[in-house]
Amino acid sequence: MKKSVFMRLMGYLFRYKWWTLTALAFILLTTLTRTAIPLVARYYIDHFVSNQAAQSGLFLLLGYYLLFLMRVLFTYLGSYTFSRVAYSIVRDMRQETFANIQKLGMAYFDKTPAGSIVSRITNDTQAVADMFGTVFASFISSFFIFTATLITMLQLNWQLTLFILPFLPVIWGSIWLYRKLSNHLVMMTRSKLSDINVKLSESIEGMRIIQAFRQEERLIGEFEAINQEHLDYANRSVNVNSLFLRPAMSVLKVLAYAVILTFFGLNWQSATFTAGLMYAFIQYINQLFDPLIEVTQNFATLQTSMVSAERVFAMMNQKAYEPMQASSDLEVSQGRIEFRNVSFSYDGKTDVLKDISFQVQAGETIAFVGHTGSGKSSIINLFMRFYEFDRGQILIDGVDIREYSQPALRKAVGLVLQDPFLYHGTIESNIRMYQDHLTRADVQAAAEFVDADAFISELPDGYDQAVTERGSTLSSGQRQLIAFARTVAAKPKILILDEATANIDSETEEVIQHSLKKMRKGRTTIAIAHRLSTIQDADCIYVLDQGRIIESGTHDQLLALEGTYQKMYQLQAGQLQQT
């Protein structure tokens, strides 16, 4: 158990100190009632049962049962209060982890599977809840009961108690050995559970491709292999638990019983060893060993919770934030863009952009074309500040892009991706994007501007039509038009189009192109194009190859060069003629 992780968890517990103190009070009351029950029973046996005057002790007997009811009530209240604290802590941890994720840069999400992130925020935080709601309460209760029981036994008969004490080092040694053997198994079990979540997430998201390429059997086999590994580690944990937890503790408790009964058998004639004392000691042995058994049983849960907490804190501690921006009051006024000798590498070794320089005047449209891996999307990633660069300079209206605050930059730039992402909600909420200042009229005007109003009006519920996950019930063209309306509603000065028509059929493309022309009017536009026919009217087209600009000019100028652009254009024109 890492001390830093434990202390950090205690910091969360301190946030709810009054609830925690209330829970501790109930646990203390539970301990007192549990300790008192055998004492009352001993007094009743020695003074009433042994003297054949059981009826005279009726009120004492009623008090005895009342203590049982109080014990149940205090146990319930203590468990309830600790559970409330536990789930409050888990809520805080999930909220803080999710908030930190929102600030992380794209580099983190490129390297971390979505299933792993989901697993940490859900499964791992739930394991922490188990620790506070069950394990932590159990440990404190066990400590209180163990201490109170041992003190009471020493007061009742310290000579007899000394016969029980040699069992305690054996128990603690067993716990220490269990911890050593189980720690690695617990970590691997949690790791394999995370792998299962990753494989599930990947399979569900890619189900169309899996079925289209008949990969079901392969995925089933891969999932079975991961699932089997998880089972193997879980079974090995069960073996260790079975050896060192309740079975081992139960054997020691039986031996303790044997010692006590043998001692009583040899000394039953002594006046100090009464039937009541014998009954009380047997009950106290239960109370002495049961907390230790409970602690060892919950130790597996504790280790799982600590490993899970460490995984959650690792995500919470991630500092791979998106690039920093200044906190100035600068606003993008015109939208002039300039790249000056910009070079960039994702891994710090191989440059994907090499000495990129270009200018875009306010209101102009430029486009980037090139083969896959030529660096087109990397230019957009840097301009959108998804990644930091350290060589060259990017300017907007003559000001370094880092000098703008993030809100000012995001407000000025509208991004339309190749595969638009729609959220659960309605058509209106996906266009509005929770910008409260936008009215229903603004949303409808944006949809009309990009020619999306026609198909939206034909939907059963119009703008209130429910949108399922990723907008799967809408066509790709409809999703793209909604993304256009979303961008127009935000009224950006700069428009970024990342292959916005790549997944659109030819018929829908005409509507999209008409909408794009209206969107681009009066806005500085940078477009990444796969279909060269969509950017022929651009003010300047840049051809990229292996991270360098190798050609630039208008459509006609590039054709006249008879270079790479002309070959790409002729290839696409030939493909169109063939189809």
Residue 395 has pLDDT above 90, yes or no: yes
Q: What is the pLDDT of residue 379?
A: 92
Asked whether the whole model's pTM tops 0.85, one would answer: no
Residues of the chain with pLDDT > 70, as a percent, come to 92
Question: pLDDT digits over 477-496, tens only?
Answer: 888 888 888 888 888 899 88
Question: pLDDT digits over 211-261, tens only?
Answer: 776 788 888 888 899 999 999 988 888 888 777 766 777 787 788 878 877
d(CA 503, CA 507): 12
Q: Give the pLDDT mean for 407-413.
A: 89
**pLDDT confidence band for 300 (50 / 70 / 90):** low
**pLDDT confidence band for 579 (50 / 70 / 90):** very low
Element (H, E) at 251: helix 246-266
Check: CB of residue 44 under 8 Å from CB of residue 57: yes
Question: pLDDT digits over 65-118, tens only?
Answer: 898 899 899 989 988 898 899 889 999 999 999 999 988 888 888 888 777 788
**pLDDT confidence band for 288 (50 / 70 / 90):** confident
Residue 396 has pLDDT above 80, yes or no: yes
Check: CB of residue 482 under 8 Å from CB of residue 420: yes
Q: What is the pLDDT of residue 467?
A: 85
Edge to edge, the sheet with strand 365-370 lists 413-416, 494-498, 524-528, 365-370, 540-545, 548-553
Q: What is the pLDDT of residue 356?
A: 93
Residue 578 has pLDDT above 80, yes or no: no
**pLDDT confidence band for 572 (50 / 70 / 90):** confident
**pLDDT confidence band for 401 (50 / 70 / 90):** very high
d(CA 37, CA 481): 74
Q: Give the pLDDT mean for 523-538.
A: 85
- What is the rounded average pLDDT for all residues in the chain? 83
Q: Is 537 helix (H, G, I), strand (E, B) or coil?
A: coil
Which residues, 6 or more positions from 465, have their beta carbon under 8 angstroms from its beta carbon? 426, 427, 456, 459
Choose the weakest-confidence range: 15-19, 382-386, 420-424, 446-450: 420-424
d(CA 379, CA 397): 18
d(CA 390, CA 436): 37
Q: What is the pLDDT of residue 104?
A: 87
d(CA 484, CA 266): 92
Residue keyed to tokens 């003190």: 151
Listed ranges 21-35, 177-191, 470-484; the one with the highest mean pLDDT: 21-35
Q: What is the pLDDT of residue 552?
A: 92
Residue 286 has pLDDT above 50, yes or no: yes
Choose the weakest-confidence range: 28-37, 85-94, 506-515, 556-565: 506-515
Which residues, 6 or more positions from 433, have their beta carbon under 8 angstroms from its beta carbon? 486, 489, 490
Q: Is 408 helix (H, G, I), strand (E, B) or coil?
A: helix
Q: What is the pLDDT of residue 403?
A: 92
Q: What is the pLDDT of residue 397?
A: 92
Question: pLDDT digits over 360-370, tens only?
Answer: 999 999 999 98
Residue 136 has pLDDT above 50, yes or no: yes
Q: What is the pLDDT of residue 575?
A: 53
Q: Give the pLDDT mean for 164-175.
A: 79
| Strand 365-370 versus strand 413-416 pairing type | unpaired
Q: Give the pLDDT mean for 529-554.
A: 88
Check: CB of residue 311 under 8 Å from CB of residue 119: no
Residue 281 has pLDDT above 50, yes or no: yes
Residue 504 has pLDDT above 80, yes or no: no
d(CA 564, CA 571): 11
What's the burial of 572, exposed, middle or buried (CB within 10 Å: 0-12/13-18/19+)?
Answer: middle
Listed ranges 106-110, 410-414, 515-519, 530-534; the one with the highest mean pLDDT: 410-414
Q: What is the pLDDT of residue 515?
A: 75
Residue 194 has pLDDT above 80, yes or no: no
**pLDDT confidence band for 554 (50 / 70 / 90):** very high
d(CA 498, CA 494): 13
Choose the weakest-confidence range: 23-32, 139-148, 334-343: 139-148
Q: What is the pLDDT of residue 576?
A: 47
Phi/psi region, residue 125 (left: phi>0; alpha: psi -120 to 50; beta: rest), is alpha
Q: Give the pLDDT mean for 129-139.
A: 80
Q: Give the pLDDT mean for 540-558.
A: 92
Q: Is 536 helix (H, G, I), strand (E, B) or coil?
A: coil
Q: Give the pLDDT mean for 402-426.
A: 86
Q: What is the pLDDT of residue 337?
A: 93
Q: What is the pLDDT of residue 259?
A: 81
| Strand 413-416 versus strand 494-498 pairing type | parallel
